[in-house]
Structure 1
Amino acid sequence: MTNTPQTTILIRNARVIDPASRMDQIADVLIEQGVIKAIESGIADSGIDRVIDASGMIVTPGLIDPHVHLRDPGQTHKEDI
């Protein structure tokens, strides 16, 4: 095994959901050096460092868990962030 960082990743067969672009489809996601280069079906896997089968999984730009409890100062034992 080498220490060379993986520069090209292909996430195959994922359900891609992006509300900003109204996308909700099964597609492949090509990532090169940490940047998304393509989202489409049938991306060829030649020259890809790592292929991830994401069948049955969801790829989305980001999710935030807003369930937090902020307390008054002095009640640090009740805070959970």
Structure 2
Amino acid sequence: MPMVTVSISPLQAADIRAAVDNGSYASSSEVVREALRMWDAARKLDGYHEEMFDQGRAPRSGRCVADMFADHEAEHRRTA
């Protein structure tokens, strides 16, 4: 698997550590991979909404990746 180095804020690092420490994720890499999957899904969904909006068939979603991740985390906590 390719290695990529990124910079994150201390708060983001603490949140990732907390997610691993509380057992929600097995590793920090797992947290980041899931966030990237959600980002990719949001980009694809947004592209779909833009296309539909341009065709006059649907409103823009107005949701960002952070909203999707927060929803996912809340669902994960409910089912844990």
TM-score (norm 2): 0.25
Larger radius of gyration: 1
TM-score, normalization: structure 1?
0.25
